[in-house]
Structure 1
């Protein structure tokens, strides 16, 4: 019995909310120019609204597409300019062998080295060459049988001198 007493005010409250919602819907329809509140006119209004949104979306899509094409063309020009500059700065004999690269690294090391001690120079040149090929300091140290600290020091020294 006590639960039935609570259901009556709850039912009354729900009826009031429904009535309020109907009033709001009617007012909105009349503001939109649907004074009759007929479902057909509301449906037509929604269809027109959807068509308008679709047209705006199509316009935005075309604008975004054109903007992306412009950006792509700009980046392509920048890339071509960069590649042209790289080709201009590359010596004609840029296609060297692995042995030539190692000789170049050895020559570079000998040029910058203040201590020339034969076998050590070759190991350092090989370490530098392996670093340029993308090996990590740990991999270089393991492959050449030298310390990781030595390898990192050598790489950091040559990176400073290359700048």
Structure 2
């Protein structure tokens, strides 16, 4: 039994020089420094341990079957969120632009109305002055210094 245990231990933990050879030894045209590099070489079929040792190797990942990789799906999710954010930002920007345009229009309209109000106030003041002048012209012959309030001549 001790011979079998020693053989098994030597297969599991090969000596350093054999381990180095395993790391760099090409196997079937590919480098053995990948995931199965630490496994010992297959024992000969006549060995009693040949049935217990199963070589282990992972298949190479395949990305050719379509867009199924995790990173691609995450990118798709992030891109979708980004597109949604862009659409929302465009809507917000359009609303802000519309509000700004409305504010500018209202500001211009307010300035125009203030200018019109000022012009109307000036015209009203001018009319009031003329009216006052007419009253003073018409009222000066009727109002004498003696206090006589008789109607002007020709108005009887």
TM-score range, shorter chain: 0.3 to 0.5
Larger radius of gyration: 2
Higher percent of residues as helix: 1
* TM-score, normalised by the number of residues in structure 2: 0.35
